[in-house]
Structure 1
Amino acid sequence: MRIWGKVLGVFFGFMFGGPFGALLGLWLGHRFDKAVGGNFAFSAASSQAAQQAFLFSTFAVLGHIAKSKGVVTQQEIQVANFLMDQMRLQGEARRQAQDAFRQGKDADFPLEDQISQFVSAVNGRRDLLQMFMEIQLQGVFADGVIDDSEHALLKRVAKALGFSEAELQAMISRWEAELKFHRHGGQRQSAQSSAKQLEEAYQILGVNQQDSYQQIKRAYRKLMSQHHPDKLVAKGLPPEMMELAKQRTQDIQQAYELVKQQRKSAN
């Protein structure tokens, strides 16, 4: 039960209006506590609904895109299981994710309707929609390529989420660069691979090598804000997906540090 509104109401009411002011303050404080309590309960319920919609829609759409080629490959199943492992989904929660993936594979799966419900559940929050799209790209790149059927479905998903084709292509380019960035990062660095990794770092940040350092810094801060795990969870990202968001921020951080180091050595 919330009481601080009543306590403060009585205190300030008595200070400025004596016993009558205290009574008036008590009544006003009670109204305040009731209003805040109700809003808090509604907010908590709304956040939980958003998280459930995020989880179901994520795996259902992953399943639908995986089926677009006619046969779901072993790599795509492994990616879905890998995501579930990263989220530490166990028991009923994992069964629900697996069921969503299976539902998504149905030929009559209502893709646009499901995404519309998801967008409504998260109140159209742009950073959550972007995170959702990036998870779909992670699934699509399971076999290293995007074929025509997958690309066509990705365009439908992006459109339903409110992203333009240019925005989708930018996300695809950033994700491709991120995969290559990891690969080059694990290799012994030759001059050529080092140059390629630097090029990929710029692509991850969504900037060009001709941009000023201030432009790059602004792009970095924007991306970090968009992928901040705590902020995303507060807006409706399932807590189980925090690790995915953390991985994205780590990749963005590493890309920025590489670019910053190169800029300093060049001056």
Structure 2
Amino acid sequence: MFDRLRTPPEKTIAFTIAVIALSAKMAKADGLVTREEVMAFREVFHIPPEDEEGAARVFNLARQDVAGFEEYAKRIRVMFGADQGTLCDLMEGLFHIAMADGSYHPGEDAFLARVAEIFDLPDTAFRRLKSRFVPDAEPDPFDVLGVTPDMPLGEIRAAWRQLVRDSHPDRMIARGVPEEAVKLSERRLIDINRAWEDISARAHA
């Protein structure tokens, strides 16, 4: 799992089961769990070899239908409280699973929107994630940087620089995160820099 997901409460069995079940139900949100979605789960959420058999049982049971996903999302939300950074990491993994088959189904959109609501993530955070993963979702550069158009350019620049530091692949590699997580950070960094270029160009136009 991501580096943030290696310390309590992330090491608890309850958390592991909740993440596996929520991911399985995400894969089922469009009505069909594909091989690509299962592979996407394994890419982002690494399970130790000795736990794979148990994880497979949980995944296969949970993927039978979408029912109950809200309860798992609520459990995760309670575990992390106000730690929206980790919750956004989890949402990123769920988006990765949703897009693994190359399409974004309305059922998947409704599922992810509800999970984001349960996680108490701002609408801007959800739109930012969606614009990065869904090809036809037009990104708002201010949403991407988590800022507003009325903020001074200096504050926006500071927010951009912080996001670059947090998302730089070299930093992710140093933290020892899975290869797929590094790829996601590379994609995130491209979007962050593109958003800053857009905002900066508007300010100097």
* TM-score, normalised with respect to structure 2: 0.67
Whole-Å separation in 1 of the counterparts to 2:31 and 2:96: 19
Whole-Å separation in 1 of the counterparts to 2:62 and 2:176: 21
8 Å Cα contact 1:103/1:109 also seen in 2: no
Structure 2 equivalent of residue 81 of structure 1: 42
Residues 112 and 171 of structure 1: is their aligned pair in 2 closer, same or farther, counting only changes over 3 Å? same
Q: How does 1:89-128 map to 2 (within 5 A)?
A: 89-107=47-65, 109-128=67-86
Larger deviation, residues 143-152 vs 239-248: 239-248
Whole-Å separation in 2 of the counterparts to 1:139 and 1:96: 20
Q: How does 1:1-267 map to 2 (within 5 A)?
A: 47-52=7-12, 53-84=14-45, 87=46, 89-107=47-65, 109-176=67-134, 202=141, 205=145, 214-224=154-164, 241=177, 243=179, 245-255=181-191
* 1:162 counterpart SS class: coil
Note the residue ranges of structure 2 that are not aligned, 5 or more in a row: 1-5
Residues 161 and 241 of structure 1: is their aligned pair in 2 closer, same or farther, counting only changes over 3 Å? farther
The number of residue pairs the alignment matches comes to 192
Whole-Å separation in 1 of the counterparts to 2:72 and 2:188: 30
* 2:7 counterpart SS class: helix
**Structure 1 residue 91: Cα displacement:** 1.6
* TM-score, normalised with respect to structure 1: 0.54
Whole-Å separation in 1 of the counterparts to 2:181 and 2:154: 25
8 Å Cα contact 2:128/2:139 also seen in 1: no
Larger deviation, residues 200-209 vs 152-161: 200-209
Whole-Å separation in 2 of the counterparts to 1:256 and 1:151: 23
- Percent identical pairs in the alignment equals 20
Residues 73 and 164 of structure 1: is their aligned pair in 2 closer, same or farther, counting only changes over 3 Å? same
Whole-Å separation in 2 of the counterparts to 1:166 and 1:214: 20
Note the residue ranges of structure 1 that are not aligned, 5 or more in a row: 1-45, 181-198, 233-238
**Structure 1 residue 141: Cα displacement:** 0.9
Q: Deviations over 1:43-94 (max 9, x none)?
A: xxx933323455433332121021123221222123223335xx3x342233
**Structure 1 residue 146: Cα displacement:** 1.6
